[in-house]
Structure 1
Amino acid sequence: MSKRPTVGDSLASDPTQHIFDHISYYGINPSNMFNPSSSFGPPTSLPIQPQPLSPMHVSLLSETAASAVEELKRLFFTEEQFWVKSSIDGTDLIDSENYEKFSNAVKKFRGTSAHVESSKDVTVVPIEATNLIEMFLDAENWKELFPTMVNKAKTLHVLGSELPIRENCNILRVMWEQLHILSPLVPPREFMIVRCCQEISKGLWIIADVSHNVDFDVCNASCYKRPSGCLIQSLPNAQSKVMWIEHVEVAHKLDTHKIYRELLSGGSGYGAKRWIATLERMCERMALTSNLTLPASDWSEVIRTGEERRRVLKLGERMIMNFNEMLTMSGKVDFPQQSKCGVRVSMRMNLEAGQPPGLIVSAASSLRIPLPPVQVFDILRKLDTRQQWDVLAYGTVVTEIARIATGSSETNCLSILRVHPTQEENNGKLMAQDSDKDDMLMLQDCYMDALGGMLVYAPMDMATMDTTLSGADVKISDIPILPSGFIISSDGRRSTVEDGETLLTLAFQILVSGKTSTSREVNERSVDTVSALISSTVQRIKGLLNCPDQF
């Protein structure tokens, strides 16, 4: 098989030309995908490492958790006294004056620009309460349950009933988490928390999170979690009622871009409503993923068994997680001039399994669109206009060859798309060539919930898809995939996604070179090419949506 060129081989060319000669543009390089000698390495370890706990530390954590549980009980069960409606979006907020009368909380950040965010929401989800609690208490399951919010998580200590813990705090976890949503223009939030679970009556549990003062030698935090968490009630028919409270102090150090400030100040950014919307969506998805048959709601030309369906869904879940991890843009940004153009760029040399090995450039841009989120979402997922914005679909015909429902709404689904090269007919129309050998596939996962949605996709060749479906002794976690996509959010001014305006983030990941060489000249030219690609895509989308130039 001949070597496929990468972006680094054709930096000067128009990014909308020769797409099918440059499938590795987005990370596809079939010749070394499953070669054991490829430069795959172990996953990057989390920076937070457990520190020994002294008896004094254990006592302090126990007291902190017990106090958080008692505070949450009052907030959950005495609604009238402590809650008011937000004038921005109608969200339930904690009345700070009444709160300070009963709480022992001391303000963590004294600066005038520091602020407090509080919110509350409730839902019923299709999952057993005990199963849900087990997921909350396991850091990896916690991350998988909230893939669009929890970027990283780690359990540092598990404290059991044999330790001197107050009677009402029978399960304790010391955890670290990094949260991130929406855009690189919204900074990630890190918390070192103690999480407590207590059954307060038959079939009713409370889970409390609170930041603590035990020194774990971590960087100076800019966020502090006051007692927050949820009340989980077991219901018949394997359902659970979940009430959620989020209460956080944020220091002025977390500088959020102006287009997202209103969304965050209204509480629907990192607030309870977003946690609840994500929980609803993921519980629906888990219920559908566990189905070992082929539901009537699905259809496919390539998926023939329940096991094949499960493997594709798992790959879709990993694609979403990979995309969200990239959004923090945590790699060193060596090219600050690109930020002035409204494009944020990050580079990394990848050695991890599950992504193509080599130098990867990530680029993202966010903008406001004067259309409701649902309308923007519907336009972007139309296949007949995809070639107007997607460089991978330029001059092609895109068809859907499989669709798997991931929720009760038809907007929530995972699709396999086929990108057909075209040939011009005598009447001037473009028609798909009658050949499968040059076709490229895309795996696409999309959803809409109460606050917005996401459309994430990654190119794949036929061999990779066959490997995914067959199992072929390859773990889903080892299949190389490099997703790009969109995050479509309400602007925080309206309560639904059917009205108001949209905050849209575009984010691309592109394999620049499979080589280890990272010369400054190649890097700068690569970044310029990727920045030009995303800037061009922004303009194409504005044209597709008929947006005025000032947006």
Structure 2
Amino acid sequence: MDSGSGGGGGGASGDDQDVSDPHNQRKKKRYHRHTARQIQELERMFKECPHPDEKQRLQLSRDLGLEPRQIKFWFQNRRTQMKAQHERADNCALRSENDKIRCENIAIREALKHVICPSCGGPPMGSTEDIYFDEQKLRMDNARLKEELDRVSSIAAKYIGRPISQLPPIQPVSVTSLELSMGSFGAQGMAGPSLDLDLLPGTSSSLPTLPLQSFGISDMEKSLMAEFSANAMDELIRLLQAGEPLWMRSPVDGRDVLNLESYERMFPRTDHLKNPDVRIEASRDSGVVIMNGETLVDMFMDPNKWVELFPTLVLKAKIIDILASGVVGNRSGSLQLMYEELQVLSPLVSTREFYFLRYCQQLEQGLWAISDVSFESRQNQFSSPHSRRLPSGCLIQDMPNGYSKITWVEHVEVEEKTPSHRLYRDLVNSGMAFGAERWLATLQRMCERFACLMVTGTSTRDLGGVIPSPDGRRSMMKLSQRMINNFCASISASNGHRWTTLSGLNDVGVRVTVHKSTDPGQPNGVVLSAATSIWLPVSSQNVFNFFRDERSRPQWDVLSNGNSVQEVAHIANGSHPGNSISILRAFNASHNMLILQESCTDSSGSSLVVYASVDLPAINIAMSGEDPSYIPLLPSGFAILPDGRPDQGAAGASTSSSTVSRSGGSLVTVAFQILVSSLPNAKLNLESVNTVNNLISTTVQQIKAALNCSGS
């Protein structure tokens, strides 16, 4: 079929039907292809007179054998085309001028660093700090001071028994006598949640705000918690060491699954009630990680490090109270009341919240056990309404050369009032979404990542020929890890995210949410997050290889306009060749704008490909080893998971769950973040929503076409 109405060189006429006639609207539109001579004469006339009058159009109509209406439409289309060309040229010129001014600005700032003050002989004020990041530093300092104020206020309130806000004004007093080490109890604060702090990862305000009165744990209840944790530790050790019939090998995928009948006989529970809505998930896995036992124990007992270890699983974590400090130096005997929120990387899967007791015990030299168990107090103040952790945890055994053997048990009760979305139902109901295999695989990958920080070797592909120093590698990995953390948090189905579903993309739709960003690690303003999840009849490993391959990027990256990219820097962060941090430069794009990308995968089939645009000066700052905390990032990307459906050819093929073949389909979450406005009080408009909706829809269509699964 001939193409639609054409512009100057297109050669197609406008509609032969009068679209204003309602009778003609019902008829099929006809198109007419202009001849070369007609186009040549029309172009000649357009150069002389872009707006011909009626007399001129009639003369052209007679000379070229076209209807006057066709002549009129051709000139309208040609004028529109010329206007678009001029606008594109103007945009390119403005962009080039902007890049030139930015480079001049950077050069001026560098020159100011070497200016000598005539008064004191030293550097002038402000020349030693990069002005580009001053505002980011101030926001971070402000957030830190607010957190410190909340923390000190909560400590003081514990001494006086009521919130500081209820006290009459008093004269300022010294706080040096306060026991500031009690800050580990948390900073729940008396004020309501702050938008500024809610967006800062790792701060107390990014976690659920608990009323101060909930900290009133009596000595009797602490004693009950200690006894309850000790019993849970005994049960966990038996679960870790037992074989059949307590643990059975799954005939479907070879994983260790709990025999519930044997478990109930071995551990009878008086509080167990048969509830048809309650599902038991229990799994066990073991493996070796490249980190020593003492370091692992320290990271497990620190909620911030716990989140850092499991960015794709743990959305939030917090210590509510420290009931026992344990032995100084090795944490043995430490008992903490904690909160955590777990996630699957999709807005379609609800997060799980747990209040639980974490107990650490050193069983012998080089052998630790850490148990987690939910505890329901008499006031029911530390309980999750829909999830409960039964004795779970891990055994950590030191091995030579800084390695550790980990045996992991996950055992939870989940009450699902609303079933999981059909796309993720198999993955969640099989226990793979939150199971032991996924925890251990994530831990192995992250421990490899930390080990790569110690590698002194450099990449053979470097930005501008400058080989990054070890400090530069660490700075780049820190920047990329922050990008990963931000991306994972942006697509969660946490209660803090109010997703709105847009129609237009299968039954899932595109989900959008908006937040005001004042995080030093994000551009300041209103940020629109959009995501959708799809199923592909392609294995998760093949999908991961497709996204991380720079040669296939033009097939799915709508924003690149089909331009290819070149990897100009590469940092390995794991044994798998796909686990790496890359700096990409797009051809035919501004040389001052680069793409920071991290790709990672693990043995459970869980993978990420996350990227963000970063300008060249910011990349140079990170590559030189400076603190990258002030570099703003707005990451987008893909989260890839196996679909959880049993692979017909994998049953009985392996005796280890970590080596079971995964050749089934995959679940892919596509997510974008867009800065709608740099004004914090700006309102979201329909145009931005439509833009991001079309962006995701087009990306999904191109992915399916490239992977030959358009009908899925």
Q: TM-score range by the shorter chain?
A: 0.7 to 0.9
Equivalent position of 1:428 in the other structure: none
Mapped partners of 1:96, 1:231: distance in 2: 22
Contact 2:580 2:600 in 1 (8 A): yes
Alignment of 1:494-505 (within 5 A): 494=647, 496=660, 498-505=662-669
Equivalent position of 2:133 in the other structure: 34
1:490–1:336 Cα change, 3 Å: closer
Match of 2:608 among 428, 442, 454: 454
Contact 1:319 1:483 in 2 (8 A): yes
1:267–1:88 Cα change, 3 Å: farther
Mapped partners of 1:488, 1:295: distance in 2: 29
| Deviation by residue 1:399-443 (Cα, 9 ceiling, x = unmatched) | 001111111111111111111217xxxxxxxxxxxxxx5442111
| Deviation by residue 1:168-212 (Cα, 9 ceiling, x = unmatched) | 982101111111123111111111110001112222111100011
Alignment of 1:428-439 (within 5 A): 438-439=591-592
Mapped partners of 1:363, 1:162: distance in 2: 45
Equivalent position of 1:361 in the other structure: 528
Mapped partners of 1:296, 1:356: distance in 2: 30
Match of 2:579 among 408, 412, 415: 412
Contact 1:294 1:309 in 2 (8 A): no
Alignment of 1:106-121 (within 5 A): 110-121=274-285
| Deviation by residue 1:317-373 (Cα, 9 ceiling, x = unmatched) | 111111111121545547444486621111111112211111111111111111111
Equivalent position of 1:429 in the other structure: none
Mapped partners of 1:76, 1:402: distance in 2: 43
Mapped partners of 2:336, 2:558: distance in 1: 46
Mapped partners of 1:332, 1:22: distance in 2: 35
Match of 1:373 among 532, 540, 557: 540
Alignment of 1:3-42 (within 5 A): 34-36=133-135, 42=143
Equivalent position of 1:478 in the other structure: 630
Contact 2:355 2:374 in 1 (8 A): yes
User: SS at the partner of 1:476?
Assistant: coil
Mapped partners of 1:361, 1:367: distance in 2: 20
TM-fit CA distance, 1:286: 0.5
TM-score (norm 1): 0.85
- Where is the strand percentage greater, Structure 1 or Structure 2? 1
TM-fit CA distance, 1:311: 0.3
Equivalent position of 2:356 in the other structure: 193
Equivalent position of 1:183 in the other structure: 346
1:35–1:169 Cα change, 3 Å: closer
Mapped partners of 2:408, 2:516: distance in 1: 39
TM-fit CA distance, 1:468: 2.0
Equivalent position of 2:179 in the other structure: none
Gaps of 5+ in 1: 1-12, 24-28, 423-436
Mapped partners of 1:191, 1:334: distance in 2: 22
| Deviation by residue 1:497-551 (Cα, 9 ceiling, x = unmatched) | 65111111111111111113343xx4333222211211111001011111132x2
Match of 1:403 among 558, 562, 570: 570
Which protein has greater RCO, CA pairs closer than 8 Å, 6+ apart?
Answer: 1
> 241-250 or 347-356, which moves further after superposition?
347-356
- 1:270 has 2:447 as partner: no
- 1:344 has 2:511 as partner: yes
Equivalent position of 1:531 in the other structure: 693
Mapped partners of 1:22, 1:179: distance in 2: 43
Mapped partners of 2:248, 2:224: distance in 1: 32
User: SS at the partner of 1:119?
Assistant: strand
| Deviation by residue 1:416-474 (Cα, 9 ceiling, x = unmatched) | 1111217xxxxxxxxxxxxxx544211111112112211111111112212222355xx
| Deviation by residue 1:288-321 (Cα, 9 ceiling, x = unmatched) | 1123x23467755444311111100111111111
The residue type equivalent to 1:352 in the other structure is D
- 1:90 has 2:254 as partner: yes
Contact 1:398 1:418 in 2 (8 A): yes
Contact 2:508 2:532 in 1 (8 A): no
Contact 1:196 1:207 in 2 (8 A): yes
Gaps of 5+ in 2: 1-83, 97-101, 106-130, 144-196, 199-204, 651-659
| Deviation by residue 1:133-192 (Cα, 9 ceiling, x = unmatched) | 1110110111111111111111122222689xxxx9821011111111231111111111
Percent identity between the two aligned chains: 40
The residue type equivalent to 1:480 in the other structure is P
Match of 2:618 among 464, 474, 486: 464
| Deviation by residue 1:374-409 (Cα, 9 ceiling, x = unmatched) | 211112222223122112322423100111111111
List structure 1 segments (4+ residues) > 3 angstroms apart after TM superposition: 17-23, 29-33, 37-41, 104-111, 215-220, 295-303, 329-341, 494-498
Equivalent position of 2:680 in the other structure: 516
Equivalent position of 1:427 in the other structure: none
- 1:305 has 2:466 as partner: no
1:332–1:203 Cα change, 3 Å: closer
TM-fit CA distance, 1:104: 4.4
> 249-258 or 307-316, which moves further after superposition?
249-258
Mapped partners of 2:326, 2:666: distance in 1: 51
Mapped partners of 1:39, 1:239: distance in 2: 40
The residue type equivalent to 1:468 in the other structure is A
Mapped partners of 1:117, 1:85: distance in 2: 15
Contact 1:420 1:439 in 2 (8 A): no
1:22–1:143 Cα change, 3 Å: farther
Equivalent position of 1:204 in the other structure: 367
| Deviation by residue 1:23-45 (Cα, 9 ceiling, x = unmatched) | 9xxxxx99996242887763321
- Where is the helix percentage greater, Structure 1 or Structure 2? 2
1:155–1:346 Cα change, 3 Å: same
TM-score (norm 2): 0.67
TM-fit CA distance, 1:478: 2.5
Match of 2:228 among 47, 64, 67: 64
Mapped partners of 2:636, 2:387: distance in 1: 29
Mapped partners of 1:456, 1:147: distance in 2: 13
User: SS at the partner of 2:410?
Assistant: strand
- 1:173 has 2:336 as partner: yes
Equivalent position of 1:430 in the other structure: none
Contact 1:121 1:272 in 2 (8 A): yes
User: SS at the partner of 2:135?
Assistant: coil
1:483–1:58 Cα change, 3 Å: same
Alignment of 1:210-229 (within 5 A): 210-214=373-377, 215=379, 217=381, 220-229=384-393
Mapped partners of 1:219, 1:361: distance in 2: 33
Count of aligned positions: 507
Equivalent position of 2:557 in the other structure: 390
Mapped partners of 1:22, 1:352: distance in 2: 27
User: SS at the partner of 2:696?
Assistant: helix
